[in-house]
């Protein structure tokens, strides 16, 4: 079970663990839970598993890209060049800070990553379908020419999260329960759009 850290455990209920056994467990990376009350044993193990899941999510955050489709709102272009600041309507999915944004209608041109999201003058990290928010999109590549609103894209262009196979896999393995069915359907729709196998 050492291959999967969460299962490399020993649950010791109402027994003593010898110092030799504890030392061997520490050397091999096995976690031992000891208690005289069965419910406490369950609670300790569950807290351990939950903590491991959170650690995996944090590690996957940089690679996982949440699906979203954004519509630029009329008269809500606050800054046309890097960083681009726009008012958008979240048409589908989840807008999340760090999401790479591209424009499929313009040959999938990348315009940067969402650097911040603001709703009612308050910073948030994530917003879902149906919300109208202001987003700041910062360029990710300094050497590349800046993508400017009015030149590279217009108000009718939809902004879409730029997903890839590399971003879908950590999303599936770490955020499966955090996305609703309609958001997974959007992932499938975007896979077709980006021709991802």
Tell me the pLDDT of the chain (197 aa) as tens digits: 677 777 788 888 888 888 898 888 888 888 888 888 888 888 998 898 888 877 777 776 678 899 999 999 988 889 888 788 999 999 999 999 999 999 998 888 888 899 999 998 899 988 999 999 999 998 876 555 567 787 778 888 899 999 999 889 888 888 888 889 999 999 999 999 998 88
The torsion region of residue 58 among left (phi > 0), alpha (psi -120 to 50) and beta comes to: alpha
CB-CB neighbours of 14 under 10 Å: 10
- Integer Cα distance of 25 and 106 in angstroms: 57
For tokens 């010898």, the residue is 18
Q: 189-193 long-range CB contacts below 8 Å, 24 or more apart?
A: 190/67, 190/160, 190/161, 190/163, 191/163, 193/104, 193/160
Q: Per CATH, is 68-193 categorized as 2.20.25.90?
A: no
Q: Which CATH class is domain 5-60?
A: alpha beta
CB-CB neighbours of 133 under 10 Å: 21
Could you state, in order of their start, the residue ranges of all structural domains in the chain? 5-60, 68-193
pTM assigned to the model: 0.70
- Integer Cα distance of 137 and 147 in angstroms: 10
Q: Are 83 and 136 in contact (CB under 8 A)?
A: yes
Q: Are 86 and 127 in contact (CB under 8 A)?
A: no
């Amino acid at each position: 079970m050492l291959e999967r850290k969460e299962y490399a455990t020993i649950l010791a209920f109402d027994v003593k663990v010898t110092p030799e056994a504890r030392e061997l467990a520490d050397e091999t990376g096995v976690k031992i839970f000891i208690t005289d009350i069965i419910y406490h044993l369950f609670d300790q193990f569950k807290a351990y598993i939950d903590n491991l899941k959170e650690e995996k999510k944090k590690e996957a955050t940089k690679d996982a890209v949440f699906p979203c489709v954004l519509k630029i709102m009329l008269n809500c272009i606050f800054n046309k060049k890097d960083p681009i600041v726009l008012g958008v309507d979240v048409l589908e999915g989840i807008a999340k800070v760090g999401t790479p944004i591209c424009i499929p209608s313009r040959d999938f041109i990348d315009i940067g990553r969402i650097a911040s999201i603001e709703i009612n003058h308050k910073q948030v990290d994530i917003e879902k379908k149906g919300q109208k928010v202001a987003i700041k999109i910062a360029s990710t590549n300094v050497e590349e020419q800046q993508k400017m609103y009015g030149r590279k894209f217009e108000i009718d262009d939809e902004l879409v999260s730029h997903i890839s196979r590399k971003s879908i896999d950590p999303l599936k393995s770490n955020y499966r329960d955090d996305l609703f069915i309609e958001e997974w359907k959007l992932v499938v729709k975007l896979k077709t759009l980006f021709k991802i196998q």
